[in-house]
Chain A
Amino acid sequence: MDKRVVITGVGVVSSIGIGRDVFWKALTAGKSGIRPVETFDTSGFPTHNGGEIKDFSPEDFMSRRRAQLVGRASALAIAASRLAFSDAGLKLSAGDKEKAGVILGTTMGETQVFERINYRWVKEGEQAIDPVWLPRLPANVLAANVGIEFKLKGPNLVLPNACAAGNYALGYAADLIRAGVTDVMLAGGTDAFSKIAFTGFNRLFAVAPEICQPFDKDRKGMMVGEGAAALVLESLDRAQKRGADILAEVAGYGISCDAYHMTAPHAPGIARAIRNALSESSLVPGDIDYINAHGTGTPANDREECLAMKEVFGSACRDIPVSSIKSMLGHTMGAASAIESVACCLAIKEGCIPPTINFKTPDPDCDIDCVPNSCRRLKVEFAMNNASAFGGNNASVIFKNFVL
């Protein structure tokens, strides 16, 4: 019998708040983190807004030396991890640390480090490359830095599965616990605000000029954001033995690939991930009480995602609340589905569903109940978190209200 996996702590660093309580309060209040971009000069771009974290000081979460040594995506991940451990009330013994591991998702890796090195190389040539920055580049440093900070010696790797990466990381971490490889894992996702992503999405005309309006008829696109989330996963045995406060159980997950297009989402692939998740969790569509949508706010994504949900859930689709917190945070890339997983766990724990803000005009292509503009009290037994990514990669995770 495979081991059951539960979530015992969460940490979030986001544009609407840092830490579980602040984040949840902001999320349920429908607070937006979208503001004019300050990381770089946007004057050459057609749009100027994004979801940056303005009040993050790495030194609050790590030594000044470490803060200087790591890139922003790692710093965000370390901060989210520290918050998650503290939320879980977890004190790991030396023995625990031998097996405890870290799996993180990302889209861009240490993008600001890359951009910094590349800028100097392009502008001033090879001699301007500062070797100190080079080891901070490969994507795996995100997990490595978290492993180093907390001295975790178990499995340590990064799944760079673009905008669904957080769910892939969470799913794989759960697999490793189920299989008995380890009994405590930190899983999540992180991405720092990326000029390359901002450039690329703008050139694809996928960025909204002012606000992100998922499922709205007049939605104009996504919003580039940044953030990190980490979840503490433990085997149920372990969590119960130490008397942990269990937020939710990982019921199961499903992954799929559209094999269709690099950037265009495709309903049949999304539907397959959802069905795989249901089947692995031994659930039927009617069991799901809340869906946290990928909901980027681009015309194509929201249309295809609604199509996929209708295909799986049929006419019952309109009775299931579906919200997109990207309306508040923008698209935090590799962190997105990790932050959304946190939102699912908290929806279960708190009995409340976060809204889709900025919603004005219904779209017949998206005739779902998107929990418009204000949160809703509701008892949630099963919450589903859907994510899609570049390359047609989809991942859906189902969280369950923990009962013995």
Chain B
Amino acid sequence: MNAKRVAITGIGVLASNAIGKNAFYEALFKGVSGIKPVSLFDTAALKAHLAGEISGFNPQDYLGQKGLRTLDRSTRLVCSATKLCLDDASLAVTQENCGRIGVAVGTSLGSISSISGFDREAILEGPGYVNPALFPNTVINSAASQVSIKFNIQGFNVSVSNSFCSSLDALIYAAQAIRSGRIDACLAGGVEELCLQTYLAFYKGGLLAGLKEGAPELSCPFDKRRNGVILGEGAAVLCLEELTHARKRNARIFAEVLGSGRGFDPYRLNKYYTRADGLKKAVSAALEDSGMPAGDISYISCAANSTWAADLEETRAIKEVFGAKAKMTPASSVKSMLGECFSASAALQAVSAVGAIERQTVPATVNYRESDADCDLDCVPNTARETQVKNVLVNAVSLSGCSTSLVIADFGGQKDKNAA
């Protein structure tokens, strides 16, 4: 077998608890939460007020002043993450290589505020009065397309929509394109902007924490008090690169993308499937595709988002696939700090997985206080833990039945540095 290997050579991240890779790792391992009262819109009339909002985001710091005016928040976030990622990877997009680099971005419906705002103008003012310059923002793949335009990336440009799993599926798409030789490198990840429309949708859908009398507005995965999500936002972009290509340009290799798996529970659009068949299938397939037994996984970056059923579903899947190894494997949820960042969540988890490998530390599940006998994994409560981290399993689970898993592994950075 001479299958191509996929290295991770760069990371760009904007999260509610920090901006930039190193700051994000610091915050992550200190257990810093990005969840705060919403400032982007007024929540006074609602029963929920918190979100994982990114404060202090100045797109011009990353993208310059020019051409920002018509770009929506999603686009600004993902373009900024791409800039940070290209810098971190020391990858220069040139006339020679631009056709061999791709973009893959996970998104659930694009910029919901852009679509809604454009339509609002038409409803209130009439269709002849909308600003045509804002029409492209209503197309779901708009943010990804702007990344290509901004950074002259011509290999391909793909958006992947798979609800909470979107950005993990984007990473898998990118890795597959590299393995099949379609491209040499791909900037892959996901973005989600916090906006009133999405917040209202989660609120009206009864998905947010703190809506029921006495229930805390808190993101506390695996904790008995969990009662819904805190919505978050963020953008995370990883530079996936074919190994020989990365070596040829002496790139730093932070980790390697191994196998992946997907499952779908074809039952309900709006309900976690606690029998967890799809997630079990995704996890098993990812392990098999990576050629490793469950015991080789040193850390699980969980999809658990503090929803009663979601955390139960994931615990069950892990216990059934991992068997006796389940409780010996640290399994934490960074959503305790970031909230549920929807289409960006899994990319943020993937970045956290690389961080865990780089720093040989697993992030904590913060806000953990009351144990739940049904969620009895080692969730790394409240304090990050230094430990040997070799292979990380990243899980994503959606409300509409999709489950996706990916294994990210230590590349043996030391050995590689010596070899270089």
Contact = CB atoms under 8 A, between A and B. Distances in A.
B180 A175 contact: yes
B399 A135 contact: yes
A159 B161 contact: yes
B149 A259 contact: yes
B328 interface: no
Interface stretch (B10-18, B262-270, B306-314): B262-270
B267 A148 contact: yes
Most buried by B among A44, A69, A199: A199
A249 B165 CA distance: 31
Contact of A203 (B135, B148, B158, B162): B135
B270 A135 contact: yes
Nearest to B121: A199
B154 A259 contact: yes
Contact of B140 (A108, A123, A203, A260): A108
A115 interface: yes
B127 A257 contact: no
A175 B180 CA distance: 8
Interface stretch (B200-208, B248-256, B360-368, B405-413): B200-208
B266 A272 contact: no
A162 B141 contact: yes
Contacts of B163: 138, 140, 144
A257 B115 contact: no
A131 B123 contact: no
Interface in A106-143: 106-109, 114-115, 118-119, 121-123, 126, 129, 131, 134-141
Interface in B113-144: 115-116, 118-120, 122-124, 126-128, 130-132, 135-136, 138-142, 144
B123 A139 contact: no
B244 to A, nearest CB: 20
Interface stretch (B20-28, B102-110, B232-240): B102-110
Given A118-B123, A158-B162, A145 B109 contact: no
A178 B122 CA distance: 45
Nearest to A268: B154
A247 interface: no
A119, A159, A392: residue with the most chain B Cβ atoms closer than 10 Å: A159
A257 B158 CA distance: 9
B169 interface: yes
A259 B98 contact: yes
Contact of A200 (B107, B132, B152): B132
B256 to A, nearest CB: 18
Nearest to A155: B262
Contacts of B158: 159, 161, 168, 255, 393
A263 interface: yes
B109 A139 contact: yes
Given A259-B154, A272-B99, A139 B269 contact: no
B120 A203 contact: no
B173 to A, nearest CB: 7
A152 B266 contact: yes
Interface string A171-208: 01001101100000000000000011011111110000
A390 interface: yes
Contact of A392 (B120, B149, B398): B149
A103 B142 CA distance: 20
Interface in B391-420: 398-402
B269 A148 contact: yes
A356 interface: no
Contacts of B182: 255, 276
Contacts of A195: 119, 122
A299 interface: no
A269 interface: yes
Contacts of A150: 266
Among the interface residues A176, A202, A262, which one has the most CB atoms of the partner chain B within 10 A? A262
B98 A200 contact: no
B167 to A, nearest CB: 12
Contacts of A366: none
B202 to A, nearest CB: 8
A392 B157 contact: yes
Interface in B141-185: 141-142, 144-146, 148-149, 151-163, 165-166, 169, 173, 176, 179-180, 182
A258 B173 CA distance: 20
B107 A203 contact: no
Contacts of A198: 127
Nearest to B99: A272
A391 B148 contact: yes
A64 interface: no
B161 A269 contact: no
B173 A161 contact: no
Contacts of A160: 107, 109-110, 140-141, 159-161
A261 B142 CA distance: 11
Nearest to A194: B138
Contacts of B140: 106-109, 139, 160, 162
Nearest to B173: A172
A128 to B, nearest CB: 10
A51 interface: no
Q: State the 9 A-B residue pairs at the shortest beta-carbon distance, nearest first.
A: A391-B145, A200-B135, A160-B140, A135-B270, A139-B161, A203-B132, A156-B264, A257-B157, A262-B136
20 contacts: A44-B126, A44-B127, A131-B205, A134-B204, A141-B269, A144-B264, A156-B262, A158-B160, A160-B107, A168-B158, A200-B118, A203-B127, A204-B132, A259-B149, A259-B151, A259-B152, A259-B157, A261-B149, A276-B182, A389-B141
Interface of A: 44-46, 69, 98, 101, 106-109, 114-115, 118-119, 121-123, 126, 129, 131, 134-141, 144-145, 147-162, 168, 172, 175-176, 178-179, 195-196, 198-204, 255-263, 269, 272, 276, 389-393
Given A196-B119, A393-B156, 15 more contacts: A69-B269, A107-B140, A108-B140, A119-B119, A135-B399, A135-B400, A140-B161, A140-B398, A162-B141, A199-B127, A200-B138, A257-B102, A257-B153, A389-B141, A391-B141
Interface of B: 45, 98-99, 102-103, 107-110, 115-116, 118-120, 122-124, 126-128, 130-132, 135-136, 138-142, 144-146, 148-149, 151-163, 165-166, 169, 173, 176, 179-180, 182, 200-201, 204-206, 262-270, 277-278, 281, 398-402
